[in-house]
Amino acid sequence: MNDIIHLLPDAVANQIAAGEVVQRPASVVKELLENAVDAGAANIQLIIKDAGRTLVQVVDDGKGMSFNDARLSFERHATSKISSADDLFHLTTKGFRGEALASIAAVAQVEMKTKRQQDKIGTLVNIEGSSVKEHAPAAVQDGTSISVKNLFFNVPARRNFLKSDNIEFSHIEEEFNRVALVHTDLAFSFYHNGKLLLQLQPSNFKQRIVNIFGTHYKDKLYPVEMETDVINISGFIAKPESAKKKKSEQYMFMNGRYVRHPLLNYAVETAYTQLIPEGFKPAYFLKLQVDPATIDVNISPTKVEVKLQDERLVFGFLNSCVKKSIGMMSLAPQIDFEGEAALEISQIRPSTDEPVFPKIGVNPNYNPFETVPGHKTGGGSHDSSWRSGGGTQSGWNDFLQGIKNETDNLSNATPNTQTSAAFDDTSDEILIETNAPFIIQNRYIVLKLNTNLTVIDIVAARERILYERYSDSLENQPVAVQSCLFPETVSLTAAGAELLLEIKDELLKLGYDIEQIDRTSFAVNGVPFGEEASAVQTSIEELLESYKSNLFLYRSEKNKNIALSLARQKCLHFKPFANDTEIGDFVKQLLACQIPYTTPSGKKTLCVLSDNMLKELFVK
Ligand code: ADP
Ligand code: MG
C-alpha cells in the first residue's frame, strides 16, 4: 500500500485557485464590483486604502444575502447564478464560477456585512485565510458590504510581487472604469485614502465617458451605431486626430462584459488606417450585443477573454460600422446624434482680431428668381429634412441622401455664367452665389455639402480618387492599354531597371505595356487611355523614385506602394475643370471613395465649416 495521492485541504485548494483569480488588489475590486452589480445594486461605493494593499471595500444596496448564504458564499463553487452547464451559454450575470469570494478569503482578512430587505436582522461574517472566525447575526444596513483587508497577508511571496502604489492604483482605476462604463444606469463613488475621487450619477454613455475621462472628450467622439440580426453595435469612437502614441482608452464590451479580443481590436484599429500615423492608437468605447449562445466567456478565470462562434462575421460588421462612422462624422461635424444642446454663444472664445471686410462685387446680370434647370436654390426642401434627422438612424440616411442630392444637382446643372465668372481668380472680388461650386486659388473647390460650407483640396482629393482607382485596377479590374503607334524608349539606371522589372506586371494592369530591350532600356508599347506616351520617361522615373522611397514602409504591400506612388505623381498634373458638371462629377468621385476625407497618407482632402465654426467667426 504505497498510495501517495490525497485530496488537498480546502484552504490549500482555495489558495491555489486564488493564484488565478486574485493577482493584485485590482482583481479584488473587479470581483466585488461585479458581485454588487449582479446583486441588483443601484448605488455602489468603492473604498480603497494604500492602492488596495490594506483595504478594498465595496458597499452596495443590492439584494443582500440570508444568514446561511452569507457563510456559503465563501465556499468554492458556491454560486447562486448558474445551476447547470447549459446555463453557461445563457449567462446574464457577470459571475458564475462561484470561486471569487472563496479565493479572496483564502488570501486576505475578509469582513462581510449583509442583509436582505425582508430580514429583520442581518449577518456578519469574518473569515481569514479560509478559516471562519465569526458568523453571527448583526444589525447592519440593507445590501452588502465586503471589506478585504491586508491582501496576501499569509502569502508573502505574492505580497512582495505587488508593484508600486501608483501602478496598483492605476490597475484599480482601470477595473473601476470598465464596470462603471458598462453600467451607466448605476451610481458609483470611488474613495482612496478617505478622499472622494469620483462620483458618477446615472447618465447616458457619452456623459459617463466624459465624466470619467474628462470634458475634453466631449468634442472628440463620433457615435457608432449598427443593428443587424447577428450583432448590435453602439458606442463611440474618438476622432483620428486624438489618437495617442502610447496607451489609449480602448474599451470593448460584449453582452455587458469588458472583453479583450485582439481580432476585434484590430477590426476597429484598421478602420483608422491611413488616418493616424503608424503606432498610434485610437480611443474607442464600444458595446457589442450578440446572442449569448454564440460566445464562450468561460475560457479564462477572469472572463476577460472571449471566444466567438463566428469571428469573421463580427469582424466585418465592426470594421465596416466604424469606418462608416469615421466617414460620416468627418463630413458632418455639426450633427450631434445625441441631440445635446448646441454650443452657447457665450461659451465661444471671442476673437481679438479686428475684422477685415471683404470687397464684395455683385454680378448685375444675376437674377435670383430665375431658375436654372436642375439647379436648386439655397435652402431647398432637402435642407430642412437633413436637419430634422438628428438623433435617429434616419439622420444617417438623410445625411447620405442629402449629399447625394447635392452632388446630383451639381452634375445635372448646366454651366451658368455666374459660376464661370467665379473661376476667374485674377479678380479679387467675391461673387455672391447660390448653390454653385466655385474654385479659389486654382486649388480649392468651395461648395455646400449637407448645409455645410465645404472646401475640397483638389490635389489631395485627386490623390485619394486615383489611389483607390489604381488599387482597384491592381486588385480587381485591370485597365485597357492604349497601344502606341511608335513605342517610346525609356532608359534607366541599373538599379532603376531592377525596380521596373519588379513591378512590370503590375504596371501592365494599370495600362503601361513595358518590354525590356536590354539591361537598362525598355520599350513602352502602350500607355493608359488618355495619357501622352511622350511623357512616359519622366513618369516612370518619378514613379520608381517614389516606389523606392516607400519600400521600407510598404515592404509587404507592393500593390499599395505602386498605387500610392502613381497617385501622388499624377494628382499634381490635371486639367482645369470646364464647368459645374465636371466639378460635380469630381466631388461625387471623391465621396464615392472608401475613405473620402484624407489622402492615403492621412492629409485632409476636405474641410467642413460647421455651424459652430461659422458662428465663432462672427463673435466679437
Ligand atoms: P459568483 O459571482 O461567480 O457566483 P462569488 O464567489 O463572487 O461567485 O460569489 C458567490 C455568491 O455570493 C454569489 O453567487 C452570490 O449569490 C453571493 N454574493 C456575492 N457577493 C454578493 C453581493 N454583493 N450581494 C449579494 N450576494 C452576493
Ligand atoms: Mg462573483
Residue 106 has pLDDT above 50, yes or no: yes
**Which ligand 1 atom lies nearest to the CA of residue 103?**
6
Q: Picking from 149-163, 411-425, 436-450, 466-480, which range would have the lowest pLDDT averaged per residue? A: 411-425
Provide the 3-class DSSP secondary structure of residue 49: strand
Asked if residue 188 has pLDDT above 50, the reply is yes
- The atom number, within ligand 1, closest to the CA of 35 reads 20
Enter the C-alpha cell of residue 259.
472583453
Q: What is the mean pLDDT of residues 184-205?
A: 95
The 10s digit of each residue's pLDDT in 361-377 is 334 443 333 333 333 33
Of ligand 1's atoms, which has the minimum distance to the CA of residue 82? Answer: 4
Q: What tens digit of pLDDT does each residue of 217-264 get? A: 888 898 898 888 889 999 999 988 788 877 779 999 999 989 988 889
| Model confidence pLDDT, tens digit, residues 384-394 | 222 222 333 33
Pocket test for ligand 1, best of 79, 113, 123 (most atoms within 8 A of CB): 79
Q: From 3.30.465.10, 3.30.565.10, 1.10.630.10, 3.30.420.40, which CATH number describes the 10-202 domain?
A: 3.30.565.10
Q: Give the rounded distance of the alpha carbon of 335 from its chain centre.
A: 18
Residue among 101, 113, 107 at smallest CA distance from 76: 101
Return the CATH number of the domain spanning residue range 206-328.
3.30.230.10
Confidence of residue 331 (pLDDT cuts 50, 70, 90): low
Q: Identify the residue with better confidence: 282 or 306.
A: 282
Ligand 1 pocket, residue 113 CB under 6 Å: no
Share of the chain above pLDDT 70, in %: 80
Instruction: Determine whether the shortest distance from the Cβ of 143 to ligand 1 is under 6 A.
Output: no
Sequence ranges of the domains in the chain: 10-202, 206-328, 376-620
User: Which region, left, alpha or beta, applies to residue 123 given φ > 0 means left and ψ of -120 to 50 means alpha?
Assistant: beta
Ligand 1 geometric centre to CA of 35 (Å)? 5
Best CA proximity match to 184, nearest among 210, 222, 219? 210
Name the residue with the closest Cα to ligand 1, atom 7. Answer: 100
Ligand closest to CA 114: 1
C-beta separation of 503 from 562 below 8 A: yes
How open is the CA angle 98-138-52, to the nearest 5 degrees? Answer: 50
Q: Is the pTM higher than 0.85?
A: no
376-620 is classed CATH 1.25.40.10: no
On the question of pLDDT at 109 being above 90, the answer is yes
The answer to whether residue 360 scores a pLDDT higher than 70 is: no
Please determine whether the domains at 10-202 and 206-328 fall in the same fold group of CATH. no
Ligand 1 atom nearest to 94, measured from its CA: 2
Partnered with residue 224 across adjacent β-strands are 235
Ligand 1: which of 58, 97, 101 to mutate, judged by most atoms within 8 Å of the beta carbon? 101
Ligand 1 near 325 CB (within 6 A): no
596 pLDDT higher than 80:
yes
Query: Range with the lowest mean pLDDT among 101-110, 433-442, 481-490, 520-529?
Result: 433-442
Query: Is 88 close to ligand 1, i.e. is its CB under 6 Å away?
Result: no
Q: Is the pLDDT confidence value at 39 over 60?
A: yes
What are the φ/ψ torsions at residue 182 (nearest 5 degrees)? -85, -25
134-157: average pLDDT: 96
242 closest CA partner among 208, 213, 206? 213
What's the first-to-final CA gap in the chain, in angstroms?
97
282: nearest Cα among 185, 217, 332: 217
C-alpha 455 chain-centroid distance: 25
Q: Please check the confidence at residue 342 and state whether its pLDDT lies above 50.
A: no
